[in-house]
Chains A and B, each alone.
Chain A
Amino acid sequence: MLQQIEGSHAIAESVARCRPEVVCAYPISPQTHIIEAIGAMVKEGTLAPCEFINVESEFAAMSVSIGASAAGARAYTATASQGLLFMIEAVYNAAGLGLPIVMTLANRAIGAPINIWNDHSDAMAVRDSGWIQLFAETNQEAADLHVQAFRLAEDLSVPVMVCMDGFILTHAVEGVDLLDQEQVDRFLPPYEPRQVLDPEDPASIGAMVGPEAFEEVRYLAHLRQLDALDRIPEIAAEFAEMFGRDSGGLVRPYRLADADTVIVAMGSVLGTIKDAVDERREAGERIGVLGITSFRPFPLEAVRQALGARERVIVVEKAFSLGMGGVLATDVAMAIGTTTLHTVVAGLGGRPITRVALLDMVDRARAGALEPLSFLDLDEGVIARERARMATVRRSGPFAENVLRDLGRPREDQA
């Protein structure tokens, strides 16, 4: 039923209809509304049976989920940013143990400096953890992806992280067509664990594995990720067939035909990018978009096919690897080989990514003026002044505060 609803609540409703049995909650913006809503449903009894556990930290949230999942329960939690980092040891552990936990990651920047707004740094920090990471473009897709995520996780016995942009999606109130309980039940069978703690069939889960087998264990985990490359489109196709709606999949091409320039991105920014591309298409420019839904596993083949031999590919991403550059771009480069590739880091810490800026980016690329790694809307002045200050003052202090001071100065002081 289509309704105008806050993103977080849409997720809560969607997750609830997946019949999670253990839900762990620890507040951190911007995911808090999700678990608040689920908590209320458990408390009032509309979601039952379900254990809603107010834990004392994100580390405990993931740990409780691990225990619950290993004991055969469908486990769910949500976090963001620092919370994800605080639970990171358990995040890796859940994947290593092959426990099909589903977690919503309301993407948010990582401090210091502390910042509650959106970017993808948190997701990138657990890129190699063994979790499947799916990025939602809209709240509709986010809601649908959660249903698919439980199915995928439990099929493969791999945890799945549904990434949705914090605030931009979680706090946006827009139309979402939520599946009803009957529909979800049709799509998502009850959880049958691959391994479970059971007094009737005891086993030791979580053994120490030495050099003799560790590599194989890791390779098997990798193969499971590769299996997911098949399962993700299959599940999306099944979903589309059942509910008549495209959600999920590996990649999401947009107006790629004959495009010589393609912008690659993940998450909510794709909408804005599509608007910009439409504008240029109308002007006759051969430009298109490739949205990446499955970041892990990374669909190398799908990206290669989608991008083919383009004149230029611009990767717009909300995170980067300090001292190196684009994270998504590196993966895209791996897929497309020699095609000219630019990384544009954008929207860090919640900075708006505007169509104007995007178009400017495209222009510069066409003009050969776009660096292999560039930062969208970077305030060059601030950078220059801070660098100068650091060059002259030994105890220059933390540059985060300096930048704030710099930006806070009266306008006439700025050079």
Chain B
Amino acid sequence: MSETRVHFYQVGSFAVGNRLLSAGERTVQSDRRRTNSIDSGHRACQGCGEALGARYALDAAMRVTSGQLVAVNATGCLEVFSTPFPETSWQIPWLHSLFGNAPAVATGVAAAMRVKGRDQVRVVGQAGDGGTVDIGFGTLSGMFERNDDVLFICYDNEGYMNTGVQRSAATPPAARTATTDAVGPEPGNPFGQGKDLPRIAMAHGIPYVATATVADLHDLERKVERAMSFHGARYLHVFVPCPLGWGAASNDTIHLARLAKETGIFPVYEAEYGEVTGVTKIRRPAPVTDYLRLQRRYAHLFGHPGRPDVVARLQAMADANIARYGLLATEEDE
């Protein structure tokens, strides 16, 4: 009888840590000496995905750079809840300038470090989806195009949550926001709008582009590490559920991020110099309704009479992602 030898560690590749893993295989987050780049006492909502995503990404970047890191932050939730005078939650050098200029400010910091001969100090720019795909898009594209030595991280919670949940160009179709109400024949955000920023980033031909979610820490940390192995412009798009804006339970934050990936709603992949080089396969396929039903922003699609036609369109979008990126595992993958 054939026996398969599997490098198997109970929860090795999914949980944060595990006593059975060697130190090198554990996540940064499992380390008691992790930086906690954004520390306790911040004022984010209960279960905030963005606070979590920021700590994951920056702690990983801190480890890779041995603490030689500067962060530039756009205006938004992350900035407001982390630095209300007189308290800051940041444990790393951190600069906030404006809503739409974080990529450019990051460029300036990187330029200063280079001119000062402090090349070892790496720069991360970060913003929510509004600061990235909308108001910060011009400066972001400029930073990409010049290939400035900045890792820019978008924490995508699909709307302007800081100002009270308004629509952004990252808001998905059919989602209710304060400016795309669930009324009329096409309730919620219209179909056919919005930007796919990771692909736009890839079109710039920059060294590294990746998407990730707060539900897959190993994947996220690996991508931060990979990103830091390049010089030049890099882009990481992290999917971070927002309990407030999405009308979801605060304990469902990671669950939702996982479902977004498993349904194909949010494709998780990475690309180098404009070409997709890796795809994180779906492990337990699920219909989009599993994901949608947990969020009040989609409540108008369910119940009676509900909008099965709209749900079908969302499913079709997920299916298109699955087809485009080849998200379903094949025999070979297993």
Contacts and interface: CB of A to CB of B under 8 A. Distances in A.
B27 interface: no
Nearest to B150: A67
Interface stretch (B68-76, B166-174, B249-257): B68-76
Given A21-B116, A63-B97, A209 B111 contact: no
Interface stretch (A194-202, A362-370, A386-394): A194-202
A65 interface: yes
A154 to B, nearest CB: 14
What is the size category of the interface that chain A forms with chain B? 35 or more
A53 B116 contact: no
B110 to A, nearest CB: 8
B107 interface: yes
Interface string A45-76: 00001110111110110111111111111010
Nearest to B106: A67
A414 B85 CA distance: 64
B109 A70 contact: yes
Contacts of A201: 93
Contact of A208 (B69, B83, B91, B145): B83
A201 B73 CA distance: 18
- The size class of the interface chain B forms with chain A is 35 or more
A210 interface: yes
Contacts of A55: 104, 107, 142, 146
Contacts, number: 169
Contacts of B68: 199
B139 A63 contact: yes
Contacts of A69: 108, 112
A59 B80 CA distance: 22
A60 B104 contact: yes
Interface stretch (A4-12, A89-97, A155-163): A89-97
A93 B97 contact: yes
A59 B139 contact: yes
Contact of A205 (B91, B94, B115, B145): B94
A207 interface: yes
B98 A93 contact: yes
A21 B93 contact: no
A208 B79 contact: yes
B126 to A, nearest CB: 13
A202 B107 contact: no
Nearest to B65: A199
B105 interface: yes
A24 B68 CA distance: 25
B114 A51 contact: yes
Given A199-B68, A208-B85, A54 B146 contact: yes
A323 B171 CA distance: 42
Contacts of B106: 67
B241 interface: no
Given A93-B97, A205-B96, A207-B96, A49 B109 contact: no
Given A22-B115, A60-B139, A207-B83, A75 B95 contact: no
A377 to B, nearest CB: 40
Nearest to A201: B93
Contacts of B115: 21-22, 49-51, 68, 73
B95 A67 contact: yes
A415 interface: no
A390 B71 CA distance: 55
Contacts of A204: 82-83, 88, 90, 94-96
Contacts of B84: 207-208, 210
A55 B86 CA distance: 34
A76 B165 CA distance: 38
Contact of A67 (B108, B117, B121): B108
A380 interface: no
B178 interface: no
A71 B85 contact: no
Given A22-B108, A73-B108, A199-B93, 17 more contacts: A22-B115, A51-B114, A56-B142, A63-B97, A63-B104, A64-B107, A64-B111, A66-B101, A67-B108, A72-B112, A89-B100, A199-B67, A202-B93, A203-B94, A204-B88, A206-B94, A213-B86
Interface of A: 21-22, 24, 49-51, 53-57, 59-60, 62-73, 75, 89-90, 93, 97, 197-199, 201-210, 212-213
Which 5 pairs across A and B sit closest by C-beta, in order of nearness? A67-B108, A206-B96, A56-B142, A63-B104, A73-B112
22 contacts: A21-B115, A22-B115, A49-B117, A53-B111, A56-B141, A56-B145, A59-B104, A62-B101, A64-B111, A65-B108, A67-B72, A68-B108, A71-B108, A73-B111, A73-B115, A93-B97, A199-B68, A199-B70, A202-B92, A204-B88, A206-B83, A210-B84
